[in-house]
Structure 1
Amino acid sequence: KRRNGLLKKAYELSVLCEAEVALIVFSSRGRLYEYSNNSVKKTIERYKKASTDSPNSGSVSEANVQFYQQEASKLRNQIASLQNHNRNLLGESLSNLNIRELKQIEKKIEGGISKIRAKKNELLFAEIEYMQKREIDLQTDNKYLRAMIAANERAPEHMNLMPANEYHVMSSAPFDSRNFMPANLLDHNNNYCRSDQTTLQLG
């Protein structure tokens, strides 16, 4: 997609500027793509001839060197300025600063400290909230475990001790014949028949 866009730009440049344009592109797989509104070979030969015959070829290269040197110098100055600013934020190298610059640094430091404290408090509140929820969960689990332990302790007493007590009470009670009725008294039909027979004999 980018390659097609580059070829399109080369075509537009050749049409709008009425310039002789040659474009050569090699893909990552080594495939060649080229564009020229005239001929790539002719354009290259023309470039070689122009660069050889031109008396300003040396001045062009020197201008490029000067440009890159200036850019490198700017970057070095920016790096030095940033390093010096960082030292000022740490309270170092303050001897060359005036009152206005010191106030600006102080304001930046105070703003940074307020943001740091706000973030720290946010994290602390979140940690406290998490610990409170964790405490409630642990208390709930503790109550549940205590109830389970108490239930397990009551279960063996009910299973082992109660039958033995009942058996002991029943076996220790004294025998009393008055608590039992003769078996023949429970047969009501036989008793009625005998009483009827006695009445008939007396009559």
Structure 2
Amino acid sequence: MVRGKTQMRRIENATSRQVTFSKRRNGLLKKAFELSVLCDAELALIIFSSRGKLYEFSSSSMQATVGRYLRHTRSDQSHHLDQPLPHQHDLQAVQNEAASLLKEIESVEVSKRKLLGESLGTSSYEELQQLEQQLERSLSHIRARKHEVYREQIEQLKEKYDVEEERQQSPTQIQLAEVSPNYGESSSISDVETDLFIGPPKSRSK
């Protein structure tokens, strides 16, 4: 039988919560003991239940292990006291990137206003000339696209007109177009002798 995946959230039922705590606590203490024996690790484990009851395990001495931990953390704090924390580097990088993006946005806004003919008071002659050339290039692209769309619309209207013209063609014209190729054959068959003879067959041969 496959066990369902346990959801990582607080168990609402008090009885189920206590049973789960007892099972997981015993398993954790067992794993801590195995780790200390198999790997010769100095290990201290402290557990407080929801009712405040203490459970602990230590491979040697709890006080000695805790003291060693405190000395180690103090040493690390004094070593890294003058160095910025990693998250500070990340924050500084994000701030620099945000400032760069803000400058780019402001530059784009200024260019947009100039293209609309606004905020030209501080522009030099060279800047105005470049702006004029840019507008002329944009205008030529717009006109080229306009003519292309115009030609496409003409082609579509022409195709639509041809379809409507075919639909309006009368059925008589269609039948004449289908029968007319066989008209020459029927006329050639009619070119036969139609003289009438009266009497016996012998007199006809004479």
Common topology (TM > 0.5)? no
TM-score by length of 2: 0.42
TM-score by length of 1: 0.42
